[in-house]
Structure 1
Amino acid sequence: MNHLKVIIIGAGIGGLTAGIALKQAGYEVEIYDRVATLRPVGAGISLWSNGVKVLNRLGLGAEIAAIGGEMNAMTYRSKTGELLNQIDLMPLIDRVGQRPYPVARRDLQTMLVAAFPGEVHLDHKCIDFEEYETGVTAIFENGHRTSGDLIIAADGIRSQFRKQILDEPVEPKYAGYINWNGLVPADEQLAPKNTWSIYVGEHKRASLMPVGDSRCYFFLDVPLPPDNCATPDSYRAELKEHFRGWDEPVQQLIDRLNPAETARIAIHDMGPIDRYVKGRVALLGDAAHGTCPDLGQGGCQALEDAWVLSNYLIATNISVPDALKRYESERKERANAVVAKARQRAEQIHGRDPDVTQAWYQQLKNEPPEDVTSAIAKTILGGPLR
């Protein structure tokens, strides 16, 4: 289709990447977000090779390499520091053809905003849309209206559009754990250089992975009832209690983190759902498949969505709705499987069935490293850019 006007709702990873891809295709693109200031949710993201390949394909390979961390190995340790498994990631990188790049979310969003050749319209909350035979109009709370050939709803796990696409509400589900995350200066006392260090025990997890600018992205997971009543001034005491007796690097991490810059998130996922598209409107990213972060694939799946959607719009010429249905068919199979697998992984790690988690701890001790990298490679190579 030669010339299209695309309206994108949501200026997160998926919306911005879709905007970049569609502008490169020569389409007119408008991006809107309800927030007045772009502030990414969460401090970091483990961008695995399938997501990085999309950015490479869009000409952003040097930019992502500059802000990403060099991650060459993974180590699993018990809560007291016993080494359970050490995994060299170089065979994985050789197999899939691209290294992963853990990255600070703010750095990634800043990179994508800079790469989008147009304005991102902030403080525009989309409240409705009207579809007609030849196009669609987005309607905003502030009275603004804009019309185009299609709308991409990249408005997150609490999407305003999903109910209209599905004709029923589908709400996010609590995954069973609270996640504290942020950034700290890299230090060998916390974790070896270029290594993703993970401590596990008591159905909890403490993790550090390298990101750009000599920093580490950390997260600490604890299975708890969902609540949002804690405030930053209580985070350190809360974490000290939850991780009492854990190894010294975990204690140092809790001492060094900045509570004011630490996110405390009740982890939810959403789906799998059986429809991503209705007419000229398509869900993208977390709006279609909100994913537990336990596979590190949430952002990657949004990047894959953006790539696949832009390709169908470019490569097929029956109609916009036809291209969107083809996008839906391909992405539903791929992303829904990732949602289910990530939920299963979250339950395994966080003690939904304590026997299953205990068996996983035992498995970590005995599992050949190549089994771990093969499982990661299988997920990566399921994407559109193999």
Structure 2
Amino acid sequence: MKDLKVVIIGAGMGGLTSAIALRQAGYKVEIYEKVNKIRPAGAAISLWSNGVKVLNSLGLSQEIASIGGKMERTVYYSHTGEKLTDFSLQPLIDRVGQKPYPVARTDLQEMLLNTLGANNVHLNAKCIGVEQDSNSVTAAFEDGHKATGDVLIGADGTHSVIRSYVLGKAIERRYVGYVNWNGLVTASDDLAPGNTWAVYVGEHKRASMMPVGGDRYYFFFDVPMPKGSVSSPETYREELSSFFKGWAEPVQKLIQRLDPMKTNRVEIHDIEPLQTLVRDRVALLGDAAHGTAPDLGQGGCQAMEDVLVLTNYLQTTNLSVADALKRYETARKDRVADIITRARKRSDMTHGKAPEVTQQWYEALKHEDGTDIMDAISKTILAGPLN
């Protein structure tokens, strides 16, 4: 279809990428964001090959390579520092046809904004309602402004207003069961090799360092905890030192070197898989459509896949906007439901939901040469639209 006007609600990673893709497809695009200054949610993100390939298709291959981390190996350690497995990611790269690029969210956001043009994002625009008829769809904003187009994309994140409109009701997010601290720290060989994703596991917890651009590591700590625990940056280091007491020396050094005031603490949630991703001229995308635990590293990549598939159907279907969006829904709902379900299952295994299962995983890592891990990652990647 030609000469469409697309209204996008949300200027996060999914919203910005969809704005770039749809503009390149020849559509008029307006993008609205409720905050008065765009700030990334979280410190960094794992972009596996399926996400990277979407950016490549938008002409951003050099840009993403320049800000992505050079992640060439993966190593797992026990919490006391025993090396469990250490392997090259090259067989995975050969199989899927693209290097992964862990990337700082600020760098990714800056890249996308520079490509789109930051002045093209309407800030301080909180969407409070949607109306549509057979010819158009209109978003209403808190300040009284209205934006009318042929298509409306809800890329407004895990607390999506547009999702409530599409479903006809609000839904509660589900607490996955653990708290995640994450941030960025200067790379150093006494923490981890600069080309390696290092993961420490034990006591149903994890500590991880992953290289990103700018000679930094993206780090995270996972601790199973009841929902609703209260904390503040002033106590993060003390808390982490307590939770990870007795863990290997690189973990202790990481805790001492992180900046608590620049560290995020998040209770991890997901949503139940949705059977409905569209309502006539309105489509959900990214976390609004499929908020998932980060345990497969696929949250951002699935938003990128959404963009690719949605753009393709709008370009190639000439029956109607609603028809194109229903085809998008059909193509995506089982894929993203599978990601949510398997990320939840992996989270349970990793974080001691059934302690004997977690212990079996620790033991299996001692005999792992990378084959099973890379097989699982490649199957996840190749099940998508870029296989």
Query: Normalised by the shorter chain, which TM-score bucket?
Result: over 0.9
Partner residue, 1:36: 36
Provide the rounded CA distance (Å) in 1 between the counterparts of 2:216 and 2:284: 34
Provide the rounded CA distance (Å) in 2 between the counterparts of 1:120 and 1:161: 18
Partner residue, 1:318: 319
Q: Check conservation: 2:75, 2:83, Cα contact below 8 A.
A: yes
Q: Check conservation: 1:17, 1:306, Cα contact below 8 A.
A: yes
Provide the rounded CA distance (Å) in 1 between the counterparts of 2:333 and 2:206: 30
Residue 358 (1) aligns with residue 359 (2): yes
Provide the rounded CA distance (Å) in 2 between the counterparts of 1:173 and 1:103: 27
Provide the rounded CA distance (Å) in 1 between the counterparts of 2:284 and 2:316: 20
Letter in 2 for 1:240: S
Q: Check conservation: 2:139, 2:146, Cα contact below 8 A.
A: yes
Deviation by residue 1:308-348 (Cα, 9 ceiling, x = unmatched)? 10110001100000000000000101111111010101111
Provide the rounded CA distance (Å) in 1 between the counterparts of 2:296 and 2:354: 19
Matched residue pairs, number? 386
Letter in 1 for 2:116: F
Provide the rounded CA distance (Å) in 1 between the counterparts of 2:165 and 2:121: 24
Partner residue, 1:116: 116
Partner residue, 1:263: 264
SS in 2 for 1:112: helix
Partner residue, 1:194: 195
Partner residue, 2:215: 214
Write out the 4+ residue segments of structure 1 that deviate beyond 4 Å after TM superposition.
none
Provide the rounded CA distance (Å) in 2 between the counterparts of 1:289 and 1:95: 27
Map 1:125-144; keep pairs closer than 5 Å.
125-144=126-145
Per-residue deviation, 1:355: 1.0
Map 1:84-233; keep pairs closer than 5 Å.
84-117=84-117, 119-227=120-228, 229-233=230-234
Q: Check conservation: 1:177, 1:221, Cα contact below 8 A.
A: yes
Provide the rounded CA distance (Å) in 2 between the counterparts of 1:266 and 1:346: 13
Q: Which runs of 5+ in 1 are unaligned?
A: none
Deviation by residue 1:145-168 (Cα, 9 ceiling, x = unmatched)? 010001100011111121221123
Partner residue, 1:292: 293
SS in 2 for 1:161: helix
Q: Check conservation: 1:19, 1:31, Cα contact below 8 A.
A: yes
Per-residue deviation, 1:229: 2.4
SS in 2 for 1:163: helix
Provide the rounded CA distance (Å) in 2 between the counterparts of 1:171 and 1:285: 17
Q: Check conservation: 2:86, 2:369, Cα contact below 8 A.
A: no
Provide the rounded CA distance (Å) in 1 between the counterparts of 2:155 and 2:76: 35
Deviation by residue 1:258-298 (Cα, 9 ceiling, x = unmatched)? 00000000000112110000010001000010010011000
Residue 48 (1) aligns with residue 37 (2): no
Letter in 2 for 1:49: S
Q: Check conservation: 1:158, 1:171, Cα contact below 8 A.
A: no
Q: Check conservation: 1:10, 1:154, Cα contact below 8 A.
A: yes
Q: Which runs of 5+ in 2 are unaligned?
A: none
Provide the rounded CA distance (Å) in 2 between the counterparts of 1:229 and 1:142: 34
Letter in 1 for 2:296: L
Per-residue deviation, 1:102: 0.2
Calculate percent identity across the aligned residue pairs.
Answer: 59
Per-residue deviation, 1:192: 1.1
Per-residue deviation, 1:365: 1.1
Cα root mean square deviation, aligned: 0.9
SS in 2 for 1:101: coil
Provide the rounded CA distance (Å) in 1 between the counterparts of 2:87 and 2:333: 32
Per-residue deviation, 1:169: 2.4
Per-residue deviation, 1:175: 0.7
SS in 1 for 2:102: strand
Provide the rounded CA distance (Å) in 1 between the counterparts of 2:265 and 2:228: 10
Deviation by residue 1:206-241 (Cα, 9 ceiling, x = unmatched)? 000000010000000000012362110000000000
SS in 2 for 1:210: strand
Q: Check conservation: 2:130, 2:165, Cα contact below 8 A.
A: no
SS in 2 for 1:288: helix
Normalised by the length of structure 2, the TM-score is 0.98
Provide the rounded CA distance (Å) in 2 between the counterparts of 1:84 and 1:101: 24
SS in 2 for 1:171: coil
